[in-house]
Chains A and B, each alone.
Chain A
Amino acid sequence: MQTAVVDAANRHSDIAELLRAGHRDRAFEALLQRYEGKIYRLCCALLRDRAQAEDAAQESLVRIWKALDRFDGRASLSSWIYAITRNRCLTALERRRVMDSLSDSEVETELADASAAEEPSEERSGQLRELVDLLPERLRRALLLFYFEERSISEVALMLGCPEGTVKTHLFRARAALTEQLRKRGLADPHLWLESGL
């Protein structure tokens, strides 16, 4: 993750320069251009709900804007932005856990049922999404962000705030779990996936 942090620091030297010169609005505009999508995707991966992800992304950006003057450059800008975003998502998850404690158990039951189902779903894409949703949270987040961020392990590591080795391990385990599930469901034939166009 160290090289990624250095790269990120170099990439955002212009924003740091604008901040040092006191141009907060312009710095925020540049930051928004670069991070808006990444922040939203990180929120989507962490929260699994588009509406909540939008709210969390917005709240994160407002916090970033408010705190931009206090950014001292000791951490890389991206690490700082992702840390704020993760904290907002954790708060949202905590709030949701309290509010929806009953419906959560229903979701878990549904997922367990889906897991136990022997028959494949109608579409391969749907099946794959379903299997990804059944993965443990940490593996699912790493996998989603890996494909959202064009297979960049260093970016995923920055977004999740963990070492690249951990991301690689999570990806390896996620793929192994998916392969195992495919085998269990009799979908482990590669030609099946090629024929379906996926």
Chain B
Amino acid sequence: MTDSERPSELERTLDAALARTLTPPGVPAAFRAKLRAALVLAGDSNLSDARSRLEREQREKLEELERNYVWLRRRTLGTMIGGAFAAGAAAAVALPWVTANLGPVAPLVIASGGAAVGIGIGLASWLRSRGGGDFQVRY
């Protein structure tokens, strides 16, 4: 260090004076307590955010279920109407052949058999739903 680089007496004194004057401020006494309270509040807002997010998700899920339910009902109705007309058409085509080959009572026997099968399926489904079977939805 050359003489020109060496700090002068004034600079040294000034440095010491600054060190004594510019003392680091201490953290306020209640700082931690206030911080804890602020953190709790921030946590609450996180919880509240999470709650509203879950509520929104639940709403969306319910809307989707509702849409699917309506779609299912329409599909079932469509299938029933289509099926009925298809059955009518098939019967109109097949009836002369069945009567000619199996006898005049055959159409009545076939129709009674189909009705029995349908009623059987419906009855079984109704009984299972009443008995708390697999079709019951739990919440």
Contact = CB atoms under 8 A, between A and B. Distances in A.
Interface of A: 32, 36-37, 40-41, 44, 50, 53-54, 57-59, 61-62, 65-66, 124-125, 128-129, 132, 143-144, 147-149, 151, 175, 178-179, 182, 188-190, 193-194, 198
Given A175-B11, A179-B14, A194-B13, A61 B20 contact: no
A144 B17 contact: no
Interface stretch (B27-35, B53-61, B82-90, B128-136): B27-35
Nearest to A192: B13
A190 B13 contact: yes
Contacts, number: 86
Contacts of A66: 42, 46
Contact of A62 (B9, B16, B28, B39): B39
A105 B20 CA distance: 31
Interface string B4-18: 000001111111111
Contacts of A53: 25
Given A40-B27, A182-B14, A148 B22 contact: yes
Contacts of B46: 66
A63 B69 CA distance: 45
Task: Indicate the size class of the contact surface on chain B.
Answer: 20 to 34
- Looking at chain B's contact residues, is the secondary structure mostly helix, strand, loop, or mixed? helix
Contact of A37 (B11, B12, B22, B27): B27
Given A62-B42, A175-B11, A178-B14, A41 B34 contact: no
A36 B10 CA distance: 35
7 contacts: A50-B25, A58-B31, A61-B39, A65-B39, A132-B18, A175-B14, A179-B10
Nearest to B28: A54
Nearest to B30: A54
Nearest to B16: A198
Contacts of B26: 37
- Looking at chain A's contact residues, is the secondary structure mostly helix, strand, loop, or mixed? helix
B21 interface: yes
B25 A190 contact: no
B14 A193 contact: yes
Contacts of B22: 129, 132, 143-144, 147-148
B122 interface: no
Contacts of B9: 190
A50 B9 CA distance: 33
Contact of A40 (B11, B12, B16, B31): B31
Contacts of B121: none
Contact of A129 (B21, B32, B35, B38): B21
Contacts of B21: 125, 128-129, 132, 198
Given A188-B10, A193-B14, A62 B25 contact: no
A40 B9 CA distance: 33
Contact of A36 (B16, B24, B31): B31
Given A53-B25, A65-B39, A132-B22, 7 more contacts: A41-B25, A44-B25, A58-B35, A61-B35, A125-B20, A147-B22, A148-B22
Given A62-B39, A143-B22, A54 B31 contact: yes
